[in-house]
Structures are given as C-alpha cells and as structure tokens.
Structure 1
Amino acid sequence: MKNFKIKIIVLISLIFLTACSTMQTTIKYEKKENVVWKQIEDPTIVLELEAGDIIVKEKTLNPIGMFGHAAIMKNDMIIVDYPKFGNKSYTIDVEYWLEKGRDILVLRYKDMNDEFKKRLIKNMEKYFGKDYKISFDKLNTDGFYCSQYIWYVYYVTAQEMGFELDLDSDGGNFVFPYDLINSPYLEIIN
C-alpha cells in the first residue's frame, strides 16, 4: 500500500512538473495573440456549431481546470467529452456542458469538408467510451484525456485520407487544450 501511494505521488508530481502548458517546448507555429473569449451567461446561445468544432474552456485556479478543458462537437448540439480521472467519455447537450462564468473559445478546422467530417464522426464513435487516461504517448489509444482524444481523432482521420495533420501547436509529448488554440489548422470562430 505504501509503494502504491508513493507511485501515485510521483505520477501526480510528474504531471504537474511536465504538463504545464505555459512551459515552452519547441515552437512549431506562431502563437495567436489577443484572442477574444466568448463569455457564458444564462440563457446560453453560443454559436452555430458544427460536427468537429472544438470548444476550449479557459483555465481555472483549481487543479482540475488548471490546463483548461476541451471537448468536440459530435453534431450541432451534442458534445463528446473526456471529463476527468475515474470517468469514461460521455455525450451531453452543449448548453448543459457550458459553465456560467467560464469563458470559451470555439475552434473550427479550416479545411473541413463533407468526407473529412463523415470520417471524423466515425472515428469519434470508434474511440468513444474508453477510460480517462493520461499517457506519455499521444498515439496510445488505451484511454484518452480531453485534448488527446480530439487530437487523435483528427490525426487518425487525416491518416485515413492520406495526409498528415497535427493539431498540437508545440509538438510535445502531451497535447493540452491551449495547444489547440495556436494550431494553424484551426480558426477561432467566436
């Protein structure tokens, strides 16, 4: 039991020490400056959302939200989310998923077409239902965390269509929600 506790403490320490999205690694893309976050107020009418849109929630001071959070739209109303440790992915209506007082950015893939969207939705379904899991390998599909799931379904969809697509703007071992914001393949639509 003592060894298990030590392993957990070491794992958590590694996550906090290596996973800080404000730490610079090799910069692959130009950072997007002066982004405008969409404020969430009741009642919520966000935007005209589409399948494949990515919603990034701003960072919070609590440990669960310190890196931000991201989820992907399955259609114009339903979000696919990998929420936190101990949970599997789930789907939810976007208006229930949004939090009052926590601003968002909506990102859209610039080169989306009908074929890519169809395959992306199919891959979202294929990799849906796995446990929340943090891995040092973005290609590990044993489980996912929020932004890794999004990165992976886009990555594998592009592979199927014969091209490379890496939405991770800093190319590190982890892909964090804020790494998606700076991707040159995504545009902010809010």
Structure 2
Amino acid sequence: MKINLEELKQIIPNIKLEEDNSYLISYPYFINYFKLKDRLSKQDLICGVFMIYGWMPTILKNIDCTDIDKIVDLFNKAKSSDNILTEIEIENLKPFTNKSLVGLSKLLHFINPNVYPIWDSKICKYFFSNGFYSKIGNVSIYLEYVDAIKETIKFGLPNDFDNLREQLGYKITDVRLIELVIFLKPV
C-alpha cells in the first residue's frame, strides 16, 4: 500500500470545508478529552467509545468489558507510545468497540493522533475500489495503512497540505491531515 502525495495535492483545492460540519467541529474536543488524561480509565474508554460512535452511521450495541484491566492497559500503551500496537493486541481490542476495526481506529486515533490514523470505508475504498468491504475489518491491512502514512510523513508534506490545515482553524497531526484529505476526497 502506497500513498500518492501528488494525487492528494490535486484533491486539496477541491475540498470544501463546511463551517457547520459536526464531524469537523467535534474533532478538536475529542482530541482534547484524551489529551487531558494522563492515564485512561475504564470510564474514559467507555465515554470515548460512545463519542466515536457519534461519528459513525451504526449504533454501539456491544462493549465487551470481559477483561477490562487488559483493555485499559492496552489503550494506555497505545496512548503513551510512538510504537503501534501489535496485530494481536489490536485484535484483542476490537470486541470493546462492537468488534469494529473502524470504531477501534477512531478511538485509537483520539487517544494518540500522532500514531493511529482513522480507518473507515471511505479510506479503505480509496485503496481498494473493488471488494473493499472484505478488507475493512482486516487488522493487517489497517497496519499496512498505518505504515504507508508513517512512510509518507517521513519525507515531509508539501505546502499544499498546510493550506488545508489553516482552513480548519485548529491544529492537527500529519497523520490526521493525510487521512482527512483521503476522507474528504470528492466522489
């Protein structure tokens, strides 16, 4: 999986940010909620998972808290490290977010926006136009996406990306910036 910066640069001028877009308005508040926490608790994670499901078209039906101490420890590991969780660790967290990798990626992103990009159907479709539904829940594909973003950021982003960052009116990480351009790509 590779991210084509030239293609993304062409997308940026066509992105129209709506001032009343609740998705964009809520973003810095979600980030700040987790940023203010030195260590995440069970309460923080349950509130967080309900926050991110406010961004999703499905409702949260199942939160598996069977091994909540392990879950809390894994989310705190994700919060405090620049190293991504392993595939097994991410798989172990999926039941907490309705068995959804999309929901989990959003929660991980808000917990550590420098490391974890958001993964959803629009992002997956960008990389896999055919059969993307069979790939959306695949943790190894998500980890390839994480690596692709990390590799892209390593060389720096062109100034075109700063223009979009300025339009938002709040700070976002390079991880979020790349994901946002892909997400907002006009269909």
Structure 1 length normalisation: TM-score?
0.26
Structure 2 length normalisation: TM-score?
0.27
Higher strand share: 1
Higher helix share: 2
